[in-house]
Structure 1
Amino acid sequence: MTTNKAGKQQLSNAFDFDKGMTALDDDERALVERRKRILGTMGPLFYDRPVHIVRGQAAHLFDASGNDYLDCYNNVACVGHANPRVREAVNDQLGRQDTHSRYLQDEILDYGERLLHSFPDALDRVNFTNSGSESNDLALRMARVYTGHQGVVVTAHAYHGITSLVSSISPSFGTGVPLAPFLATVEVADVLTSKQPESQVRATLKQRFEDAFQKLHDGGFGVSAVLLDQIFSSDGILPGATGWVGDIAQAVHRAGGILIADEVQSGFARTGEAFWGFQRHHADADMVTTGKPMANGIPTGAVIYKHKIGEAFASCTRYFNTFGGNPVSMRAAGAVLDEIEERHLLSHAQKIGEELSAQLLQLLGGTPRFRGIRHAGLFLGIDIGSSDSTSSDPMAARAIISKLRDMFILISSSGPDGSTLKLRPPLVFSSSDVDRFMKACSTLVDEGYFG
């Protein structure tokens, strides 16, 4: 990512509305201009030439000209684009009723019970929202009430959502969105990408978080919560040193706060090793937040929590969300669980992730720009550097992304400067999809994109 003079953090793979129009054909230019007239330019588009998507199937998207794009990026449609089971569940419920949760309804209870069953017994209550942003906002409010403190700790390049509260604790927005005075940040990427022994990595991270706790205590804020994306996507995709988040959970409890596990990116079988990312780290999470992949594209989110936290919150206020937990969303979310369970997508993500990672390492290992690969299940990060030094190279990463897009392969990037290629395909990604992706990467190697 880059930052402009106003402090706005630019998406590393974003279309440039000022400079990018000349590269478009007439139809593309007209559609982008129409979008600008209606939506403005606040919302970014991906790629130097944006893709006009009209339909999808499994791990594939199709544009207005009928071109088949292999989707290696989309975790929202986690059980596949246009999933028939999700569609049928939504259609059936729309023919019945879809109203708010102030009435007694079976759908929210049926799904809530199933969802809680996937968590440790201590996480025994759930409230529903419409998105990960709303989930994180509610979780932070609950943490404040329960602990009596205000301070929050996140990682140095974290992104946790778009509400006023959550954006103020999301450093990845850049200085254009002022960070909260009650926020402390911790750099983790340098340690988690190092070659240090795991015990040293864990000790270093624990000390950094304890220093952050002390800073908040000294500032009079105390510590309400550590909020951590369990795959650390915005920090560069950092699944390593399994167990260090468990250390931080113990440390924040001693400091008077709680651990909130943000599972928007890592949850619902994404990492292959465990259904939830915090389980990989053996962490005693007090609250868990979910969003994007929960209902395969139907806006849905949730906060799962220990009942004592909810009781403290309910004793002085209340939470009601008109659309949160609506029957259509609950039926869609239930269909997602059906697909994950019946198609064994947890073990599938592990298997295909290992297959893809191993083939990439074999192909790219030794190429000048390749700086390493990290993955957990179907979430992969590939570091790209300059050919003649050890420095990262976001422009080279962008060139690779753009070339793949022209070959009808969709990926994106991550990390503080956008130099980490980001692969996060639907969980139904198949071995034949791996073959197609690897063939494209082989072509890029032959053409010198990896140095």
Structure 2
Amino acid sequence: MSNVDAGVPAPVAGRKGLANGFDFSKGTAGLSPDTVALIERRKRTLGTLGPLFYNRPIHVVRGSGAHLFDADGVDYLDCYNNVACVGHANAHVREAVADQLAKQDTHSRYLQDEVLDYAERLLALFPEGLDRVSFTNSGSESNDLALRMARVYSGHQGVVVTANAYHGITALVSSVSPSFGTAIPLAPFLATVEVHDVLTGDMPADRVRAVLRERFVAAFRKLHDAGYGVSAVLLDQIFSSDGVLPGAQGWVADVADMAHRAGGLLIADEVQSGFARTGDAFWGFQRHHADADLVTIGKPMGNGIPTGAVVYKAAIGDAFAACTRYFNTFGGNPVSMRAAEAVLDEIESRGLLKQAKTVGDYICDGFASLLAGRPKLGQIRHAGMFIGIDIRSDDGSRPDPAGTQAIVDALRDRDILISASGADGSALKVRPPLVFTTADADRLLAAIGELRDLGYFG
């Protein structure tokens, strides 16, 4: 049986290229000798399985704040990296890690203060009821564990995601990530729901919510009819790979309520939207006032030190623990916990939740002002410092992935780093470190103004 869909055709098999990815098959003509040597060295050791960004890859040697520097000392403005959320080479994170490495770093099956200190501080950032946490090494592991917990607690197997969702790389999680678009089949117990069309249109918010309720109900019904039931709805709370879709606040709460009535749970994937990214709330699901049952986190949690977690309601963990066990050798290790706590220090002491909103609004206002009336400019969407900008064909009638990539490449040539998103790669994706300032934004907007004058936006 193929995956079950609701409101969208089944994903087409065949490898989907990475938006803004270097194409190894086209060779290295026109690149510098040093860049060619590094690419060839990479191919000999890493193969071509791991992607590179940009048609002209960048040799990064150091970073500071929202800036990366290459081997020639060129200063690139990083408008894309949400992993180093409190800035590249953050001194406070570095000192916390070094201090802990000088003491001890072992697994969490001993009694240790570090993992408990962080767990208590992290849980204090969640609504009452989300009162337990298990630690992992990545967002992928977090989503894998959350799906397993949902299966046990609900007694069902079916999973619902959005039509171009990406949730990670484990066997289970990649099988519910249609954005991979590979010949590896998606899970038979998966239902996909199209959300991009209504969340990017001009439909009133109440109508958007009504349409999405209908689509998710249809997905639940198909899973039940197929004998899988509904274990979980797994939603990235900024819908990054679907094209950055922060709108119609509240619709996720509707889906959570419906999932509960269908016997399933809501897993809020906060790997992209968490840690103050949206500017409205510390977690994306809070923007929608949704009753999440499990929350998965990763990427920015340790500012580059690998770590992740699943925050969950106690009854869910108790049910899981009653029939199996979970341990993770490196999950919750003291070094990662100290790094993660330092990230919280920086977000709180530097007011980065407020800064994400202020600077995100400033960037979007600047885009709208600079590009007003340009035919290739589509919708601008954002929540805090997570921005999606649709690029259209010259007559504005259809998406323009090639035009989007041309803008990404032209910005890279001006030492500005962004990327692309959406099922067809036609949305510019701007997602800088939270420490991004208005001065950094002015540099980005100046480059956009240059491209406007050169006709990149029609």
Instruction: Tell me whether the two structures share a fold, i.e. TM-score over 0.5.
Output: yes
Q: Report if aligned partners of 2:200, 2:379 keep a CA contact under 8 Å in 1.
A: no
Instruction: Please state whether the residue corresponding to 2:62 is helix, strand or coil.
Output: strand
Q: 2:46 aligns with which of 39, 47, 70?
A: 39
Q: Deviations over 1:282-328 (max 9, x none)?
A: 00000000000000000000000000000000000000000000000
Residue in 2 that maps onto 1:444: 451
Q: Quote the Cα distance in structure 1 between the aligned partners of 2:27 and 2:410.
A: 16
2:218 is matched with which residue?
Answer: 211
CA distance in 2, matches of 1:112, 1:156: 33
Find runs of 4+ consecutive structure 1 residues off by over 3 angstroms: none
- Residue aligned with 1:62, SS: strand
Moved more, 124-133 or 7-16: 7-16
The runs of 5 or more residues in structure 2 that have no matched partner are: 1-11
For 2:257, what is the secondary structure of its paired residue? helix
Maintained 8 Å contact 1:9/1:176: no
Q: Among 95, 102, 107, which residue is 2:102 paired with?
A: 95
Summarize the alignment of residues 420-431 of structure 1 with structure 2, pairs less than 5 Å apart: 420-431=427-438
Q: Equivalents in 1 of 2:388, 2:273: separation in Å?
A: 13
CA–CA separation in structure 1 for the residues paired with 2:165 and 2:315: 28
SS of alignment partner, residue 124 of structure 1:
strand
| CA 1:352–1:162: 2 relative to 1, 3 Å | same
TM-score by length of 2: 0.97
Deviation at 1:177, TM superposition (A): 2.4
Is 1:17 the counterpart of 2:11? The answer is no
Preserved CA contact (<8 Å) 1:20 1:48? no
- The alignment status of 1:365 with 2:372, answered yes or no, reads yes
What are the Cα deviations for residues 14-42 of structure 1, in whole angstroms up to 9, with x where unaligned?
A: 00101141131211111100000000001
* Structure 1 counterpart of 2:185: 178
Q: Please, which runs of 5 or more residues in structure 1 have no aligned partner?
A: none
1:202 maps to 209
2:233 aligned partner: 226
Alignment of 1:260 with 2:267, yes or no, is yes
> Separation in 2 of the partners of 1:361 and 1:295?
33
Q: Deviations over 1:256-303 (max 9, x none)?
A: 000000000000000000000000000000000000000000000000
2:402 aligned partner: 395
- Partner in structure 1 of residue 124 of structure 2: 117
- State the Cα deviation string for residues 179-228 of structure 1 (Å, max 9, x = none): 00000000000000110110000000011001000000000000000000
Q: Under a length normalisation based on structure 1, what TM-score does the superposition of the two structures give?
A: 0.98
Which residue identity is paired with 1:438?
L
Q: Distance in 2 between matches of 1:113 and 1:91?
A: 22
What are the Cα deviations for residues 149-201 of structure 1, in whole angstroms up to 9, with x where unaligned? 00000000000000000000000000322100000000000000110110000
Q: Which residue matches 1:315? A: 322
CA distance in 1, matches of 2:131, 2:102: 31
RMSD, aligned CA: 1.0
How far, CA to CA, are the matches of 1:254 and 1:224 in structure 2? 11
Question: Take 2:30 and 2:59, find their aligned partners in 1: how far apart are those partners?
Answer: 15
Instruction: Determine the structure 2 residue equivalent to 1:349.
Output: 356
Q: Does 2:71 correspond to 1:71?
A: no
The aligned residue for residue 157 of structure 2 is 150
Give percent identity, aligned residues only: 71
Equivalent position amino acid for 1:379 in 2: F
Q: CA deviation at 1:334?
A: 0.1
SS at 2:348's partner residue?
helix
Check the 8 A contact 1:249/1:258 in 2, yes or no.
yes
State the partner residue of 1:331: 338
Aligned to 1:384: 391
Q: Secondary structure at the match of 1:18?
A: helix
How far did residue 365 of structure 1 move?
Answer: 1.7
Q: Does the 8 Å contact 2:13/2:181 carry over to 1?
A: no
Aligned to 2:418: 411
Q: Which letter maps to 2:405?
A: R
Pick which of 21-30 and 137-146 moved more. 21-30
Deviates more, 1:344-353 or 1:387-396: 387-396
Contact 2:196 2:245 in 1 (8 A): yes
CA offsets 1:340-393 (integer angstroms, 9 cap, x no match): 000000001000001110010011121111012000000000000111241000
8 Å CA contact 1:167–1:177 kept in 2: the answer is no
Q: 8 Å contact 2:13–2:184 — kept in the other structure? A: no
Are the equivalent residues in 1 in contact too, given 2:199–2:247 (CA < 8 A)?
yes
- Counterpart secondary structure, 1:21: coil
